[in-house]
Amino acid sequence: MSSIYKQLAAEFQKGIKDGSIVTTPPPTKDTSSSKKVALTFDDGPHPTITMEILDLLDKYNAKATFFVVGNRIDRYSDVLIETFERGHEIGNHTWNHTNLTTISTNQVKEQLSSTNNAIKKAIGQYPTVFRPPYGAKNNQVVSVIELPVIMWTIDTLDWKYRNASNLLPMVKKSMHNNAIILMHDIHQSTADGLESVLKYLQEQGYEFVTVSEILQYK
Ligand code: ZN
């Protein structure tokens, strides 16, 4: 009798040990994966509008990316320097906003290198990213571009509406994590509507980062 008891007890103990007291750890929370958004501004630098945008970005501790047009750089080099010194990323947006799919390969190279050199001359560094005007590209164009070619995931159509109160609704309706938002720092309406966008996205928990930072998370 006592031997049976011993055996049962052993089985009973084994049962507990094997099956029952297993705790599942809670899913680990990845603290590095906060929501991120890349605000991008094309076609500048602009002497007043870019500066207004820079002040708004500072107010929200936001970093952004500016795709600049080469032939504006000499005239507004102080604006470009200011943009760079405040910690924003500088991108190449061709020399004169040409549709690259309509010109020769050599002309594409010239559009890129002249703008790269103008940026380097102004800020002491080459740009880190490229965006084609109108988003127009093909394999031949892409093959000669040595920088990451950056498109966008949300087009605010700010160039079309030119209406400050339209900016936030355009962002809201398509917003997603790691979004790349297309805007233009040559339209006053974009500067006027930007604070509502910054405020909303900040409330939603987004961190404002450069395009190159977003690419690391994609
Ligand atoms: Zn453009």
Residue 13 lies in a domain: no
For residue 130, the CA-to-ligand 1 centroid distance in Å is 11
Residue 81 lies in a domain: yes
For residue 206, the CA-to-ligand 1 centroid distance in Å is 25
- Domain containing 120: what range? 34-217
The pTM of the full predicted model, rounded to 2 decimals, is: 0.85
218 residues of the chain, pLDDT tens digit each:
444 444 444 434 333 334 434 444 444 444 456 899 999 999 999 999 999 999 999 999 999 999 999 999 999 999 999 999 999 999 999 999 999 999 999 999 999 999 999 999 999 999 999 999 999 999 999 999 999 999 999 999 999 999 999 999 999 999 999 999 999 999 999 999 999 999 999 999 999 999 999 998 76
Residue 203 lies in a domain: yes
SS3 91: strand
For residue 214, the CA-to-ligand 1 centroid distance in Å is 20
SS3 182: strand
Half-sphere exposure of 17 (CA within 13 A, CB side): 6
Q: How many domains does the chain have?
A: 1
Residue 74 lies in a domain: yes
Task: Locate all alpha helices (DSSP H) within 60-182, ordered by sequence.
Answer: 77-85, 105-123, 139-144, 158-161, 164-174
Task: Tally Cβ neighbours within 10 Å of residue 74.
Answer: 11
Residue 205 lies in a domain: yes
Residue 77: give its domain's CATH number.
3.20.20.370
Residue 29 lies in a domain: no
Indicate which residues carry an active-site annotation: 42, 184
